[in-house]
Structure 1
Amino acid sequence: MSLRGFSTLNFWADDVAAAAVWYSQFLGIEPYFERPGPDGAPAYVEFRIGDYLHELGIVDSRYRPTPAANHSAVTGAAGAVMYWHVDDLAGTVDRLLSMGAAEHAPITARGDTGFVTASVVDPFGNILGIMTNPHYLEVLAAAKTA
């Protein structure tokens, strides 16, 4: 079996409690799970969000994995941008910017088929990708009729 589906996305924050508050305000829900670190402060919080209750975890930056030994060969940023489907892309971007996020990539149409992306950097340094995605809506509609 290959990749079966998105499971958990982890973001990093120096202040997990502050990040939990910020994401609670943005998402409109509280984390359902919290694990304290050795000092008693939250070291990990997790939200279940979206139609499939995907997991968004926020991890204390002190647990961030160290780069691979050959990472120095990479010039610039490395990694992936995870895009979340939203129904109102422009409204969501505006809301995120008003909450202190910074634009990472502007709203950009990807062809003429309805795929439109944008991304912001949250106040904790993580890239949050958002998009309108017709395929996501098709899969969701099919799952509801199955």
Structure 2
Amino acid sequence: MLRGLATVSFYAADVKAARDWYEKLLGIEAYYAVPSAEEPAYVEFRFGDFQCELGIIDAKYATHLVGPTPAGAIVHWHVDDLEATLARLVDLGATVNEAIVERGNNTGFRTASVVDPFGNLIGIMTNPHYLQVLQDLTP
């Protein structure tokens, strides 16, 4: 049974450049790197309300084709301000994959997606369900 998001893995031919880009995006440093921070084959970030993990793996270790076109599942991360987050991603060098779309009949579910400079798809979303779960978990 699926219990929750544990780690999202992205691939990049240049892990150091990807790490630097995601450090700018997230506003934090990667907390883990192997074999070293100077020559990483893998880096990992923990962030957000539930300390979700984002790993970036050297593309040479991918079990699928990693190339110049966008690839991967679109995982949507909840954001509080969809327009501002989309603009920030684009300012950092991502390209729009799908502009903002209203999902449902004005239910508050809105999504967009971009392609990072390394070919990974990033979904962003305003999600009322996420906010309700977070509120229910907060004492």
How does the TM-score come out when normalised to structure 2? 0.91
- Structure 2 unaligned blocks of 5 or more: none
Deviation at 1:36? 2.1
The 8 Å contact of residues 31 and 45 in structure 2, kept in 1 or not, is answered as: yes
Given residue 134 of structure 1, which amino acid in structure 2 is its aligned partner?
P
Structure number, greater radius of gyration: 1
SS in structure 1 at match of 2:25: helix
> Is 1:26 the equivalent of 2:20?
no
Q: Which residue of 2 aligns with 1:93?
A: 86
Greater relative contact order (Cα < 8 A, sep 6+): 2
Q: Deviations over 1:40-63 (max 9, x none)?
A: 721000000110001000000000
Equivalences, count: 133
**C-alpha distance 78-93 of structure 1, shift in aligned 2 (>3 A):** closer
Given residue 45 of structure 1, which amino acid in structure 2 is its aligned partner?
V
> Pick from 115, 128, 136: which aligns with 1:121?
115
> Pick from 67, 78, 84: which aligns with 2:77?
84
Moved over 3 A (4+): none
Q: Which residue of 2 aligns with 1:73?
A: none
CA distance in 1 between counterparts of 2:82 and 2:110 reads 8
> Is 1:5 the equivalent of 2:7?
no
Q: Deviations over 1:88-126 (max 9, x none)?
A: 100000011011100000000102100000000000000
Given residue 126 of structure 2, which amino acid in structure 1 is its aligned partner?
T
How does the TM-score come out when normalised to structure 1? 0.87
- Structure 1 unaligned blocks of 5 or more: 68-76
Q: Which residue of 1 aligns with 2:134?
A: 140
